[in-house]
Amino acid sequence: MRFINRVFIIIVLLAGFLTCFIQINPGNAASTEIISDLINIPNPFNAGVEPTLIRYSLSEDCSISINIYNLIGDMVKQFNEDECSGISGAQVSVKWDGRNGKGMEVADGCYICEIFARDSEGLLLDNRLLKIAVLK
């Protein structure tokens, strides 16, 4: 199922800044909150000049994967669990330099970061969404 089928995205251009509002379809949301305190700093950021740090806390040990999508639902970047998993109670930071999976800088705009928490058997425990803006 494509990411765009699960999320409705509205883009508003306000005072020269790109702001994204996300409405999550509650039918697809996981019921347990494993991932909390999700934020990226800075936001917006300038791809290729400065990275953004995607930060989150975990309430239990689990495997984490992070996917970053453009607004049409194409995956731009994927971080595997070696790059982003953590332990219970720890705050985890993952650095995104604004480059896609091929190493090219992404265009200005809004991107959606989806974080998945899975148990040792691969079952989905939680997932969260975060908007990331790239401005040059």
Lowest mean pLDDT among 24-28, 38-42, 81-85, 87-91: 24-28
pLDDT at 90: 78
Q: Which of 18, 22, 9, 44 is nearest to 130 (CA)?
A: 22
| Cβ atoms of residues 69 and 55 within 8 Å | no
pLDDT tens digits along 80-110: 877 777 777 778 889 999 999 999 999 999 9
Domain chopping of the chain, boundaries:
3-134
pLDDT at 5: 38
Confidence band for 19, pLDDT divided at 50, 70 and 90: very low
112 pLDDT higher than 90: yes
Q: Return d(Cα 15, Cα 17) in angstroms, integer.
A: 6
- Give the CATH fold of the 3-134 domain: Immunoglobulin-like (2.60.40)
Q: Which of 78, 71, 55, 81 is nearest to 107 (CA)?
A: 71
Confidence band for 10, pLDDT divided at 50, 70 and 90: very low
